[in-house]
Amino acid sequence: MEQGFKTEKGIPYYEDTQKRSIGQKLKKIKNTLLGNMAYSCPIKKLRILFHRWRGVYIGKNVYIGIHCFFDNLYPEYIYILDNASVNADCMILAHFNPMKRFSQILSARVAPVIINEGAIIAVRSTILPGVKIGKNAIVSAGSVVEKDVPDYTLVKGNPAKKITEFKYLME
């Protein structure tokens, strides 16, 4: 585990989420309201502030575009490090809780999503739970990332596949 990041854990299957405590329901309402405010806010600094209030870790000099959706139940599992860019219409999911009937083949879990320093997530990309985007990596527009992306690597597609490494170009 990297220092300070949360670790993956099991969570209730969908049917079991109906038994949430009042505190859990209030947290969901808070996250939904702040998430909706951030989603359509035309001012970048306010978008970042609303997401931080939800629990998303956002480093220095980060860009978050308009209409981005960050996990509504576990935003505290999302880490966007310094100088990273998450462009418009992106989706970052930190949890997956399928119906209980799928428990033999799918795990209900929450896992951290880490977007490392200098990474770029291009428009309309989706990052799935447990994915780490490497330092200065680039996720091409419209990609669905289900596996870690190494440092200085360009990926694209659904599912995202490595296109090239470019560290030598940045030295």
The residues that are catalytic are: 95
Please give the DSSP secondary-structure letter assigned to residue 149. Answer: B
Cα(122)–Cα(119) distance, rounded to whole angstroms? Answer: 10
Q: Which stretches of the chain are DSSP H helices?
A: 22-40, 44-54
Query: Tokens 């799928």 map to which residue?
Result: 102
SS3 (DSSP) at 81: coil
Q: 63 with 42: CB under 8 angstroms?
A: no
